[in-house]
Each structure stands twice: as structure tokens, then as C-alpha cells.
């Protein structure tokens, strides 16, 4: 899966900081950079000049460059031979066509610059529109698609529509990229996260990436907000490499040190046969076979998100660890050891699907 970042013209970062960000991203497996020359907040010629500086840095870091353009800016570009020459010299791999473009404009860009790699708007085009465009443009063109990112809250796509659009482009063998937000440096003018799926606006980069990968409705992921943190950049790579998830929990006040140690410093995985009430951990079931004499103690009602361990009241099951996924009541043979923090509850859906994970005691709760 292709990974991309975004760097926009006239940003508040120095050339050195931009270069360091590109190096960091490339080292973590990101191969493409999206920029833009149609930000409505800025003068076109000022941002074009700034974009050329970004293009040079992208080239130096041996990454691919995609430039976003749309509306009247396309006419400004194609009617200025000087701008077209500079665009040709900017080592651009592809041009993303955001809105208000036509086949005549595309063909002129190809003939004047030699650029023949175009990225369509995956969020706004119907199958008929895509087919008509392809039929009337240069046959050497390589097509991709990239979804919009939506600045304004409550305007992002639903997952159902997202999947519907993917089918259109997939049927035409066109590669599709989706956008996720990064909240370390959310982009102007609203600073609300640049996301394709509205449900991802306020969630972590890790969660957004997980849901996109599981949707099987995109072939690439773009972190659309600029200057994501190393944690956000790494999170995407962790998902793609299927590294174990980290599940943070708060210890129950009655939990013993021995019980807590049964959770920590080991990789866990759920059993395939999921119960209505609990996720049973395969690793702990194997350990229970060798005998873990967990003592009976005072315990409590088991609630969603609780982590429990069977005690010797359940005989050979003593030491088996479960995660509660439906309120299960009180059981004297089951000790409540901790509770998964709210921010990590979404991960339970993926644990049930077989993703490996490890427990981590919440910082400050040790």
C-alpha cells in the first residue's frame, strides 16, 4: 500500500524543517508528497513560487511529487507558457485534478509539459464521468484517484459511500488513495483535521488507518495534515506491518501483583471461537494448562472492557485471561484485574478479528 504525506506552500515551517520532515517520512516508508497550488487563502503566484521550493526538496529526498490544482487556477496555469515551463521543470510525477477540469485542459498539460500521470477526485466523480474523461484524453495518460479531504466538520464521507466510490475506480483498474488526519499540526483555515471519512475526524491516525485497511476500499493512504508527528507516521507503518497493538489499562484496586504480571510482557491473541460475553486469550489458555494457581479473592461485577483472570474456583481454567465484551455479572471464580482505557476500546473489534496485542499499564497507574 502506498503511503504519502502532505506539505503545502507558504507554511510556517523553515526549509530545514520541511527537509527534515521529508527525510523522516521517507525513512518510515512514505514515498509520495502531495502539495497544492490552488489554496484559496493565498495569491496563486506566491504559492506557486513556494511550491517550486517544496518540489526541489522533494526531488532531493528522492520522493514522488503530486500537485493538487483545480478551478480557475487550471486556466491560469495552461494559459501561461512561463508557468507551464516551470511546472515541467519541477520534477512532478502526477497532477491531482480537484474540480472544474475538462479533457481539453488535460490534453494541453500533457502536450506542453510531458506530464502524463493524473489523479482524479475519487470522492466526486461518477463512473460515467470517469469513462468519458478517459475516452477523450491522451491515451498515454496513467490514471490514479485520490479522495477529497474535508476541512469542514460534518462534510466528510460515510464509509458506505467511500466503499461505493472505490468500486467505481477498482472496476476501471484505477488505484485509489484515501486521506486521514494528523492532529499534531492540523492545517489552516479551520484546524479540524483533513479527513476523507467524517468518522475519522477526531480519532487517532492509528484508528483511521486500521479502519481504512479493514475496509479494503483503498490502495494508498495520505496523511493530509502537514507535519505529522513521528508517532503518527509510525502508527500507519505499524498497521501495515501488522505489528501487535498496545492495549492500555488501569489496574483494579484489588488486583494482585501476580495477576498483573500474568498480563504484562507477553504477546496475546484471542481464540478464534469468540463468546457473546468474553474474548478468551489463547496465550493464557495455554498457560492455564500448566497450572496458574490464581487465588480466590474479593472481586466485582464484570463490565464491558474489564480484564479478568479465572481463579482456582474454576479448577484447570485458573489463570485464563478474558476481556469482557458484554456485561457478565458477578462470578466468585473470576477476578477483575483491570479495565481497558476508553481511548483503546475501539481496538477490541480488531482483537476479535485475530490481531495480536500486548497489555500496557497506563502511565501513572503503576
Q: What digits encode the pLDDT tens for the residues 8-26?
A: 999 889 999 999 999 999 9
DSSP summary character for residue 56:
H
Q: Say whether both 55 and 181 belong to one domain.
A: yes
Closest CA to 291 of 259, 262, 260, 316: 316
- Cβ contact 294:317 at 8 Å: no
Give the end of a domain, one of 181, 206, 240.
240
Residue 288 lies in a domain: yes
Residue 286 lies in a domain: yes
Residue 95 lies in a domain: yes
Mean pLDDT within 342-360: 96
Residue 15 lies in a domain: yes
Task: Give 37's pLDDT tier (boundaries 50, 70, 90).
Answer: very high
Q: Say whether both 147 and 56 belong to one domain.
A: yes
Angle, alpha carbons 332-336-341 (nearest 5°): 155
Q: Say whether both 31 and 48 belong to one domain.
A: yes
- Cβ contact 32:61 at 8 Å: no
Q: Say whether both 189 and 218 belong to one domain.
A: yes
Could you read off the pLDDT of 225-277 as tens digits, one per residue? 999 999 999 999 999 999 999 999 999 999 999 999 999 999 999 999 989 99
Alpha-carbon distance of 218 to 180, in angstroms, equals: 12
How many distinct helices (H) and strands (E) make up the chain? 12, 14
Could you read off the pLDDT of 270-303 as tens digits, one per residue? 999 989 999 999 866 565 544 579 999 999 999 9
Could you read off the pLDDT of 108-135 as tens digits, one per residue? 999 999 999 999 999 999 999 999 999 9
Q: Say whether both 228 and 354 belong to one domain.
A: no
Under DSSP, is residue 310 helix (H, G, I), strand (E, B) or coil? strand
> Does residue 366 surpass a pLDDT of 60?
no
- CATH code, domain with 82: 3.20.20.70
> What pLDDT, on a 0 to 100 scale, did the predictor assign at position 162?
98
Residue 313 lies in a domain: yes
> What pLDDT, on a 0 to 100 scale, did the predictor assign at position 285?
58
> What pLDDT, on a 0 to 100 scale, did the predictor assign at position 19?
98
Mean pLDDT within 156-161: 98
Strand partners, 307: 323, 338
Q: Say whether both 82 and 199 belong to one domain.
A: yes
Closest CA to 321 of 341, 344, 345, 351: 351
Strand partners, 357: 245, 268
**What residues contact residue 261 under an 8 Å CB cut-off, 6+ apart?**
none
Q: Say whether both 46 and 144 belong to one domain.
A: yes
Q: Say whether both 293 and 210 belong to one domain.
A: no
> What pLDDT, on a 0 to 100 scale, did the predictor assign at position 275?
94
Domain count for the chain, please give it. Answer: 2
Give the pairing type, strands 245-251 and 357-361.
parallel
Could you read off the pLDDT of 216-227 as tens digits, one per residue? 999 999 999 999
The number of angstroms, rounded, from the C-alpha of 292 to the middle of its chain's C-alpha atoms is 40
Alpha-carbon distance of 126 to 69, in angstroms, equals: 20
Q: Say whether both 31 and 123 belong to one domain.
A: yes
Residue 34: its H or E element: strand 32-36
> What pLDDT, on a 0 to 100 scale, did the predictor assign at position 135?
98
> What pLDDT, on a 0 to 100 scale, did the predictor assign at position 363?
77
Task: Give 365's pLDDT tier (boundaries 50, 70, 90).
Answer: low
> What pLDDT, on a 0 to 100 scale, did the predictor assign at position 288?
55
Q: Say whether both 285 and 331 belong to one domain.
A: yes
HSE (CB half, 13 Å, CA atoms) of 91? 16
Alpha-carbon distance of 250 to 337, in angstroms, equals: 9
Strands (E), 103-257: 117-121, 142-146, 175-180, 220-223, 245-251
Could you read off the pLDDT of 183-213 as tens digits, one per residue? 999 999 999 999 999 999 999 999 999 999 9
- CATH code, domain with 285: 2.40.100.10
Residue 260 lies in a domain: yes
Domain, as residue range, for 164:
2-240
Give the end of a domain, one of 184, 205, 240.
240
Strands (E), 80-202: 94-97, 117-121, 142-146, 175-180
Burial annotation 305-341 (CB, 10 A radius, 16+ → b, else e): bbbbbbbbebeebbbbbbbbbeebeebebbbbbbbbe
Residue 366 lies in a domain: no
Q: Say whether both 179 and 79 belong to one domain.
A: yes
Q: What's this model's pTM, rounded to 2 decimal places?
A: 0.92
Give the end of a domain, one of 240, 265, 292.
240
Strand partners, 251: 338
Q: Say whether both 223 and 263 belong to one domain.
A: no
Residue 65 lies in a domain: yes
Alpha-carbon Rg of the chain, whole angstroms?
25
Mean pLDDT of the chain: 95
Amino acid at each position: 500500500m502506498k503511503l504519502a504525506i502532505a506539505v503545502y506552500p507558504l507554511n510556517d515551517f523553515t526549509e530545514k524543517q520541511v527537509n527534515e520532515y521529508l527525510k523522516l517520512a521517507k525513512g518510515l516508508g512514505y514515498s509520495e508528497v502531495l502539495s497544492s497550488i490552488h489554496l484559496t487563502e493565498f495569491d496563486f503566484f506566491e504559492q506557486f513560487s513556494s511550491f517550486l521550493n517544496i518540489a526541489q526538496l522533494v526531488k532531493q529526498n528522492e520522493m514522488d511529487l503530486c500537485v493538487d490544482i483545480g478551478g480557475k487556477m487550471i486556466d491560469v496555469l495552461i494559459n501561461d507558457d512561463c508557468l507551464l515551463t516551470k511546472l515541467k521543470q519541477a520534477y512532478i510525477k502526477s497532477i491531482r485534478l480537484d474540480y472544474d477540469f475538462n479533457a481539453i485542459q488535460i490534453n494541453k498539460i500533457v502536450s506542453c509539459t510531458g506530464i502524463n500521470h493524473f489523479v482524479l477526485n475519487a470522492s466526486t466523480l461518477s463512473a460515467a464521468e470517469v469513462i468519458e474523461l478517459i475516452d477523450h484524453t491522451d491515451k498515454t495518460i496513467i490514471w490514479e484517484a485520490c479522495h477529497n479531504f474535508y476541512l469542514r466538520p460534518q462534510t466528510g464521507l460515510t464509509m458506505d459511500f467511500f466503499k461505493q466510490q472505490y468500486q467505481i475506480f477498482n472496476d476501471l483498474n484505477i488505484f485509489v488513495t484515501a486521506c486521514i488526519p494528523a492532529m499534531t499540526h492540523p492545517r489552516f483555515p479551520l484546524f479540524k483535521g483533513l479527513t476523507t471519512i467524517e468518522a475519522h475526524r477526531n480519532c487517532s491516525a492509528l484508528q483511521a488507518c486500521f479502519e481504512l485497511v479493514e475496509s479494503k476500499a483503498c490502495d494508498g493512504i495520505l496523511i493530509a495534515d502537514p507535519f505529522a508527528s513521528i508517532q503518527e507516521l509510525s502508527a500507519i507503518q505499524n498497521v501495515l506491518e501488522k505489528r501487535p497493538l498496545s492495549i492500555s489499562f488501569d489496574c483494579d484496586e484489588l488486583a494482585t501483583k501476580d495477576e498483573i504480571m500474568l498480563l504484562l510482557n507477553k504477546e496475546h491473541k484471542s481464540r478464534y471461537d469468540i463468546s457473546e460475553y468474553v474474548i478468551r486469550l489463547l496465550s493464557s489458555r495455554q498457560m492455564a494448562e500448566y497450572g496458574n494457581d490464581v487465588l480466590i479473592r474479593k472481586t466485582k461485577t464484570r463490565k464491558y472492557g474489564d480484564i479478568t483472570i479465572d481463579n482456582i474456583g474454576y479448577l484447570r481454567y485458573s489463570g485464563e485471561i478474558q476481556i469482557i465484551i458484554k456485561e457478565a455479572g458477578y462470578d466468585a471464580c473470576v477476578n477483575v484485574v483491570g479495565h481497558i482505557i476508553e481511548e483503546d476500546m475501539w481496538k477490541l473489534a480488531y482483537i476479535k478479528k485475530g490481531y495480536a496485542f500486548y497489555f500496557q499499564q497506563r502511565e501513572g497507574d503503576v
